[in-house]
């Protein structure tokens, strides 16, 4: 077999392969002999059909199958021989497939980029530290109470944070428009659920009252047919209900699976959850800074095949997340290209760090992570046991631990500054940069 390789770009390779005719003929004859043993042809006993008749009837198909199999096997032999690492399936261009002649074809494909991860010293990381103060815990208890707010009918005028049951009809240019009317809708004033002015216009209303609201749809309203247009809403208030926060008692604690421990026991459990959230938030922010630094200091070209595959995965995820009667390939690829490129490049860089530093998942850290996740459940021992009996889930944890070890490896050489902040600041999500 003869092989020659041409570098047509940084990652694309054009490999010309010539396979001796004897190899093709051997494969063709092998298939024809197998066919002869089981072929059922009128006028002949099974296994007694002359080879000339077998070749006449099945020769073309046998040759086509043989050529396909030889192309596949010889391609992988060639990339091993040339020490190439394809990043996707090749595009095959047959040059000569005539019977009795050597098989010649060209395979065009991309290879994984070859690089060494460097520049750890140029990566700057701000590592936050924080504690859960009593004031933070008190604020969290207030949040939990508000999340479990009950509403009770009140015989008074509506205020912000009250829940109204309303009927309404919306009109534009005197005509009722689609989606602008409803009956028995529950609306909490101040929630921002309706267009500007709608909720404010109901403050002070009482049950049984009808109000007419003259409003304007925002210019950036999602329904372009209504954006910027004036509208009139006729609203009937059916009931006004005021919010009632639940008491911090055994009934409330039981909703969170915490029983017979009283307020102090509940506070202890909530604090544990907050501390777990705090650790994860700090760890995540450090990881994101490290990954951003690796991207900046290690620019690499991405194989188109890998990028395309990742775009397809993100399309499928989007459809699964948002639903709707849409197929993944109907979503524009450009919506996902930036995210896909980041994922692919980081995947290549992380894999290279693992290889360069011969990293393997630390079993102790794997167990520690599983125990940390299990601690959020009522029966943590059962959760730990489940992970160790489920290879797929266990391998996912190992992958996360391996990424953490990559982060630790970078941090050993990166420029790290420690900063003490409040709990609130530490857990606050990082805002995405605004587009120009």
CA distance 122 to 136: 36
Q: List the single range of 60-69, 72-81, 156-165 with lowest mean pLDDT.
A: 60-69
pTM of the entire predicted model: 0.77
Please report which confidence band the pLDDT of residue 434 belongs to, taking 50, 70 and 90 as the band edges: very low
pLDDT, mean of residues 250-261? 86
SS3 labels along 186-216: EEECCCCCCCCCCCHHHCCCCCCCEEEEEEE
The least confident of 11-20, 43-52, 251-260 is 43-52
In the chain, domain spans: 2-110, 150-244, 257-427
Q: CA-to-CA distance for 78 and 17, rounded, in angstroms?
A: 8
What DSSP element (H or E) covers 232?
A: strand 230-244
Task: Please give the pLDDT value at position 47.
Answer: 66
Asked if residues 103 and 21 have their Cβ atoms less than 8 Å apart, the reply is yes
How far apart are alpha carbons 349 and 331 in whole angstroms? 28
Task: Report residue 48's pLDDT band, with 50, 70 and 90 as the boundaries.
Answer: low
**Average pLDDT value for the chain:** 92
The more confidently predicted of residues 346 and 58 is 346
d(CA 99, CA 106): 18
Average the pLDDT over 129-157 and give the result: 96
The DSSP letter of residue 107 is E
Q: How far apart are CA 215 and CA 204, in angstroms?
A: 18
pLDDT tens figures, 382-392: 999 999 999 99
Interior angle at CA 279, CA 274 and CA 281, nearest 5 = 90
At 43 the pLDDT is 65
Confidence of residue 45 (pLDDT cuts 50, 70, 90): low
In the CATH hierarchy, which top-level class contains the domain 2-110? alpha beta
Does the pLDDT at position 326 exceed 90? no
C-alpha atoms less than 13 angstroms from C-alpha of 96 in its C-beta half-sphere: 13
The CATH class that applies to domain 257-427 reads mainly alpha
| The pLDDT value given to residue 162 | 97
CATH architecture of 150-244: Roll (3.10)
105 forms beta bridges with 17, 94
pLDDT, tens digit, 9 for 90 and up, residues 328-374: 888 999 999 999 999 999 999 999 999 999 999 999 999 999 999 99
The pair of structure tokens assigned to 433 is 């940069």
Q: Given a cut of 80, is residue 153 above it in pLDDT?
A: yes
């Amino acid at each position: 077999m003869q092989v020659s390789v041409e570098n047509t770009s940084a990652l694309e390779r054009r490999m010309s392969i010539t396979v001796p005719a004897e190899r093709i003929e051997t494969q063709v004859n092998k298939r024809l002999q197998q066919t002869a043993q089981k072929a059922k042809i009128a006028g002949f006993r099974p296994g007694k059909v002359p080879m000339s008749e077998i070749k006449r009837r099945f020769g073309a198909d046998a040759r086509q199958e043989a050529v396909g199999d030889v192309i596949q096997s010889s391609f992988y032999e060639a990339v091993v021989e040339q020490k190439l690492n394809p990043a996707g399936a090749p595009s095959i261009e047959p040059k000569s497939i005539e019977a009795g002649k050597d098989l010649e074809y060209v395979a065009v494909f991309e290879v994984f980029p070859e690089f060494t991860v460097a520049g750890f010293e140029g990566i700057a990381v701000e590592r936050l530290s924080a504690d859960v103060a009593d004031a933070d815990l008190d604020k969290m208890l207030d949040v939990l109470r508000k999340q479990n707010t009950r509403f009770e009918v009140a015989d008074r005028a509506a205020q912000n944070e009250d829940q109204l049951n309303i009927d309404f009809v919306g009109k534009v240019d005197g005509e009722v428009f689609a989606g602008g009317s409803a009956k028995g809708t529950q609306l909490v004033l101040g929630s921002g659920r309706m267009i500007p002015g709608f909720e404010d216009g109901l403050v002070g209303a009482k049950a049984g009252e009808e109000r007419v609201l003259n409003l304007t749809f925002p210019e950036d309203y999602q329904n372009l047919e209504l954006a910027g247009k004036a509208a009139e809403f006729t609203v009937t208030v059916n009931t006004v209900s005021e919010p009632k926060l639940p008491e911090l008692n055994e009934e409330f604690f039981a909703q969170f699976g915490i029983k017979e421990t009283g307020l102090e026991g509940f506070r202890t459990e909530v604090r544990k959850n907050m501390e777990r959230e705090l650790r994860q938030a700090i760890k995540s922010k450090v990881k994101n800074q490290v990954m951003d630094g690796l991207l900046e200091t290690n620019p690499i070209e991405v194989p188109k095949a890998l990028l395309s595959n990742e775009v397809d995965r993100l399309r499928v995820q989007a459809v699964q997340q948002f639903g709707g009667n849409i197929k993944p390939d109907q979503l524009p690829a450009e919506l996902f290209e930036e995210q896909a490129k980041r994922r692919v490049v980081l995947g290549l860089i992380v894999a290279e760090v693992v290889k360069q530093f011969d990293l393997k998942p630390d079993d102790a850290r794997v167990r520690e992570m599983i125990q940390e996740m299990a601690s959020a459940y009522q029966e943590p021992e059962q959760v730990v046991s489940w992970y160790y009996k489920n290879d797929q889930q266990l391998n996912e944890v190992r992958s996360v631990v391996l990424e953490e070890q990559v982060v630790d490896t970078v941090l050993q050489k990166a420029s790290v500054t420690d900063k003490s902040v409040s709990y609130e600041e530490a857990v606050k999500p990082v805002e995405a940069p605004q587009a120009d």
